[in-house]
Amino acid sequence: MDPIRKSNPQLGRLILAAALFVAWIGMLAILAATTTRPVVLSRPQFLVSDFDVIAQIAQGSHGPDREVAIEEVHWPDKKNDSLTSRKISVLNLDQCDGWQGPGRYILPLKKTGEEAYVVALPGPSPGFDPMKSKPRIYRETPETLHQLISILKSK
């Protein structure tokens, strides 16, 4: 009897396993290509900031105007805020990552002068050099607001 014509159950199982593996990898590739990438606030960046605010940015982070309109102050104290309903100058706004067009953004700010602010860089941590990274701003969404509220800071 011809050994090729003989049915081999092990070969059938191998082909089935290989087909399922290829289908599984294909499904993972489809999910990776179509899944959204959630925005995660950098806790070290917010822990070193002096003010956590929600601001309206009109012209964009790459425009000539570095002024933003503060709409809410989340930290240090919402009740005793001197920044609400003011326009302030953010000196490094054009260097920030996270710009998605005009709108409301969450900004972790550090005060640099009497009326000047910068978007804070993350604080130092092992294996990470914050001076080699860009500061980041975050579009206001329900998810980013929830993350902002969950960051606990001491006064």
pTM over cut 0.85:
no
List the beta strands (DSSP E) in the chain. 51-57, 67-75, 87-90, 103-111, 116-119, 138-139
Q: How far is residue 20 from each of residues 13, 15, 24, 121, 149, measured CA to CA in Å?
A: 10, 9, 6, 46, 44
Gap between the Cα atoms of 98 and 139, Å rounded: 7
Q: What's the CATH number of domain 43-150, 2.40.50, 2.60.40, 2.40.160, 1.10.150?
A: 2.40.50
Distance of alpha carbon 128 from alpha carbon 81, whole angstroms: 33
Report residue 80 as tokens. Answer: 């005793």
Q: What is the pLDDT of residues 72-129, one digit of tens each?
A: 888 876 655 677 788 888 888 888 888 888 899 999 999 887 778 999 988 777 877 7
